[in-house]
A = this chain, B = another copy of it.
Amino acid sequence: MKITVQTETFDLNAEVAALHRNNPSVGAVASFLGTVRNESGQVSAMALEHYPGMTEKALSAIVQEAQTRWAVIDATVIHRIGPLAPCEPIVLVAVACAHRGDAFAACEFIMDFLKTRAPFWKKETTADGGQWVDARDSDETATQRWRKPCH
Protein backbone atom coordinates (compact mmCIF):
# COMPACT_ATOMS: atom_id res chain seq x y z
CA MET A 1 0.00 0.00 0.00
CA LYS A 2 1.32 3.45 -0.88
CA ILE A 3 -0.24 6.55 0.69
CA THR A 4 1.36 9.87 -0.15
CA VAL A 5 0.49 13.51 0.44
CA GLN A 6 2.71 15.76 -1.64
CA THR A 7 2.92 19.19 -3.30
CA GLU A 8 4.51 17.98 -6.55
CA THR A 9 2.56 16.28 -9.33
CA PHE A 10 2.72 12.53 -10.04
CA ASP A 11 3.31 10.30 -13.04
CA LEU A 12 0.41 7.99 -13.88
CA ASN A 13 2.57 5.53 -15.86
CA ALA A 14 5.13 5.25 -13.08
CA GLU A 15 2.49 4.81 -10.39
CA VAL A 16 0.58 2.12 -12.27
CA ALA A 17 3.81 0.30 -13.15
CA ALA A 18 4.95 0.41 -9.51
CA LEU A 19 1.55 -0.89 -8.40
CA HIS A 20 1.47 -3.70 -10.96
CA ARG A 21 5.16 -4.59 -10.45
CA ASN A 22 4.87 -7.23 -13.19
CA ASN A 23 2.93 -9.38 -10.75
CA PRO A 24 1.33 -12.07 -12.95
CA SER A 25 -1.63 -12.36 -10.56
CA VAL A 26 -2.71 -8.81 -11.46
CA GLY A 27 -5.21 -8.70 -14.31
CA ALA A 28 -6.99 -5.43 -13.54
CA VAL A 29 -5.90 -1.95 -12.48
CA ALA A 30 -8.72 0.54 -11.90
CA SER A 31 -7.61 4.10 -11.39
CA PHE A 32 -9.13 7.47 -10.73
CA LEU A 33 -7.56 10.80 -11.52
CA GLY A 34 -9.16 13.92 -10.06
CA THR A 35 -8.28 17.26 -11.67
CA VAL A 36 -8.98 20.92 -10.82
CA ARG A 37 -12.23 21.96 -12.52
CA ASN A 38 -12.93 25.46 -13.70
CA GLU A 39 -16.39 25.20 -15.21
CA SER A 40 -17.18 28.86 -14.56
CA GLY A 41 -13.90 30.06 -16.05
CA GLN A 42 -13.53 32.17 -12.89
CA VAL A 43 -11.10 30.02 -10.95
CA SER A 44 -7.54 31.21 -11.38
CA ALA A 45 -6.04 28.90 -8.76
CA MET A 46 -6.86 26.42 -6.04
CA ALA A 47 -5.13 25.69 -2.75
CA LEU A 48 -5.41 22.44 -0.81
CA GLU A 49 -5.01 22.48 2.97
CA HIS A 50 -4.83 19.29 5.03
CA TYR A 51 -4.31 17.98 8.56
CA PRO A 52 -0.83 16.44 8.61
CA GLY A 53 -0.79 13.18 10.50
CA MET A 54 -4.52 12.60 10.46
CA THR A 55 -4.62 12.64 6.65
CA GLU A 56 -2.26 9.71 6.29
CA LYS A 57 -4.02 7.79 9.09
CA ALA A 58 -7.45 8.38 7.54
CA LEU A 59 -6.30 7.33 4.06
CA SER A 60 -4.61 4.20 5.44
CA ALA A 61 -7.77 3.24 7.32
CA ILE A 62 -9.87 3.71 4.15
CA VAL A 63 -7.54 1.55 2.05
CA GLN A 64 -7.41 -1.11 4.77
CA GLU A 65 -11.21 -1.21 4.89
CA ALA A 66 -11.27 -1.67 1.11
CA GLN A 67 -8.79 -4.54 1.49
CA THR A 68 -11.12 -6.32 3.92
CA ARG A 69 -14.04 -5.97 1.49
CA TRP A 70 -12.43 -6.89 -1.84
CA ALA A 71 -9.53 -9.00 -3.12
CA VAL A 72 -7.08 -6.11 -3.45
CA ILE A 73 -3.51 -7.03 -4.40
CA ASP A 74 -2.14 -3.52 -3.93
CA ALA A 75 -3.36 0.09 -3.89
CA THR A 76 -1.89 3.57 -4.24
CA VAL A 77 -3.35 6.87 -3.07
CA ILE A 78 -1.60 10.15 -3.86
CA HIS A 79 -3.18 13.46 -2.87
CA ARG A 80 -1.61 16.79 -3.64
CA ILE A 81 -1.62 19.81 -1.33
CA GLY A 82 -0.65 23.43 -1.77
CA PRO A 83 -1.40 25.67 -4.76
CA LEU A 84 -2.79 24.08 -7.94
CA ALA A 85 -3.81 25.55 -11.30
CA PRO A 86 -6.98 24.60 -13.22
CA CYS A 87 -6.68 21.22 -15.01
CA GLU A 88 -3.83 20.09 -12.77
CA PRO A 89 -4.11 16.66 -11.15
CA ILE A 90 -5.24 16.66 -7.50
CA VAL A 91 -5.64 13.02 -6.58
CA LEU A 92 -4.81 9.56 -7.86
CA VAL A 93 -6.33 6.35 -6.54
CA ALA A 94 -5.19 3.16 -8.27
CA VAL A 95 -6.08 -0.39 -7.25
CA ALA A 96 -4.59 -3.62 -8.62
CA CYS A 97 -6.62 -6.85 -8.42
CA ALA A 98 -6.91 -10.16 -10.22
CA HIS A 99 -10.35 -9.21 -11.59
CA ARG A 100 -12.02 -6.00 -12.64
CA GLY A 101 -15.06 -6.12 -10.35
CA ASP A 102 -12.90 -5.92 -7.24
CA ALA A 103 -10.70 -3.22 -8.77
CA PHE A 104 -13.60 -0.94 -9.74
CA ALA A 105 -15.42 -1.37 -6.43
CA ALA A 106 -12.34 -0.81 -4.25
CA CYS A 107 -11.22 2.23 -6.27
CA GLU A 108 -14.63 3.91 -6.10
CA PHE A 109 -15.00 3.02 -2.40
CA ILE A 110 -11.63 4.62 -1.59
CA MET A 111 -12.55 7.78 -3.55
CA ASP A 112 -15.97 8.07 -1.90
CA PHE A 113 -14.50 7.81 1.59
CA LEU A 114 -11.55 10.06 0.75
CA LYS A 115 -14.08 12.72 -0.28
CA THR A 116 -15.90 12.65 3.08
CA ARG A 117 -13.45 11.25 5.66
CA ALA A 118 -9.96 12.46 4.72
CA PRO A 119 -9.11 15.90 6.13
CA PHE A 120 -8.46 17.97 2.99
CA TRP A 121 -10.01 21.36 2.22
CA LYS A 122 -10.10 23.20 -1.07
CA LYS A 123 -9.97 26.95 -1.44
CA GLU A 124 -10.59 28.51 -4.84
CA THR A 125 -9.10 31.83 -5.89
CA THR A 126 -11.23 34.02 -8.17
CA ALA A 127 -11.14 37.72 -9.03
CA ASP A 128 -13.20 38.23 -5.84
CA GLY A 129 -10.54 36.62 -3.65
CA GLY A 130 -10.37 33.27 -1.90
CA GLN A 131 -13.43 31.10 -1.29
CA TRP A 132 -13.52 27.82 0.65
CA VAL A 133 -15.30 25.13 -1.37
CA ASP A 134 -18.49 23.85 0.29
CA ALA A 135 -18.93 20.14 0.96
CA ARG A 136 -21.48 18.52 -1.35
CA ASP A 137 -24.37 16.47 0.03
CA SER A 138 -23.93 14.08 -2.91
CA ASP A 139 -20.52 13.09 -1.55
CA GLU A 140 -22.02 12.04 1.78
CA THR A 141 -24.76 10.16 -0.10
CA ALA A 142 -22.11 8.36 -2.17
CA THR A 143 -20.35 7.32 1.04
CA GLN A 144 -23.52 6.07 2.72
CA ARG A 145 -24.32 3.61 -0.06
CA TRP A 146 -21.30 1.49 0.95
CA ARG A 147 -22.89 0.78 4.34
CA LYS A 148 -23.19 -2.91 4.97
CA PRO A 149 -26.72 -4.15 5.63
CA CYS A 150 -27.51 -5.05 9.26
CA HIS A 151 -27.64 -8.73 10.14
Interface set of A (CB-CB < 8 Å, partner B): 11-13, 16, 20, 22-39, 41, 43, 86-87, 98, 100-101, 103-104, 107-108, 111, 138, 142
Greatest chain B CB density within 10 A among A20, A27, A38, A41 is at A27
A22 CB contacts on chain B under 8 angstroms: 87
A108 CB contacts on chain B under 8 angstroms: 100, 104
Task: Report the minimal beta-carbon distance from A2 to chain B, rounded to whole angstroms.
Answer: 17
Known: A13-B11, A104-B107. A28 touches B32 (CB 8 A): yes
Main secondary structure of the interface of A (DSSP, over half): mixed
Stoichiometry, copies per complex = 2
Q: Is the CB of B24 within 8 A of A41?
A: yes
Q: Is the CB of A98 within 8 A of B11?
A: no
Q: Is the CB of A30 within 8 A of B31?
A: yes
Q: Is the CB of A33 within 8 A of B31?
A: yes
Of all chain B residues, which has the CB nearest A31? B31
What is the bound-complex CA distance between A87 and B25, given in angstroms? 9
Q: A20-B35, A29-B32, A32-B103 are in contact. List 13 more A-B contacts (CB 8 A).
A: A11-B13, A12-B13, A13-B13, A20-B87, A24-B43, A24-B86, A25-B39, A26-B37, A29-B33, A30-B32, A30-B107, A31-B33, A104-B108
Q: Is the CB of B30 within 8 A of A35?
A: no
Known: A13-B13, A100-B111, A142-B101. A37 touches B32 (CB 8 A): no
